[in-house]
Amino acid sequence: MLRFNISIIPQEPFFFTDTVRRNIDPLGLFTDQEVIESLKDSRLYEFIINNLQKGLLTDMSDAKSVFSVG
């Protein structure tokens, strides 16, 4: 339960080498619909759907080519 009570805000961008979906919900606690709703709330859903061929299943192993840190 400790993981649920700690927040870390890294100074450098960090992504797991997995899919967009897994980076958003690494523990798999939420449904696809809940993840989509959170992306809509953060205004990232349209970007992901319109710019990433595989949407939430896009591989993040080369995150710099997917997202800008600027």
The predicted-structure confidence for 45-67, as pLDDT tens digits, reads as follows: 998 888 888 899 988 876 556 66
User: Residue with structure tokens 């595989």?
Assistant: 54
Report yes or no on 70 lying in a domain: no
| Domain containing residue 33 | 13-64
Report yes or no on 69 lying in a domain: no
**Both structure tokens of 56:** 């939430």
Count: domains in the chain: 1
- Amino acid present at 46: E
Residues of the chain with pLDDT > 90: what percent?
31
Question: Is pTM, for the whole model, over 0.75?
Answer: no
**Dihedrals φ, ψ of 59, to 5°?**
-70, 130
Report yes or no on 45 lying in a domain: yes
Report yes or no on 25 lying in a domain: yes
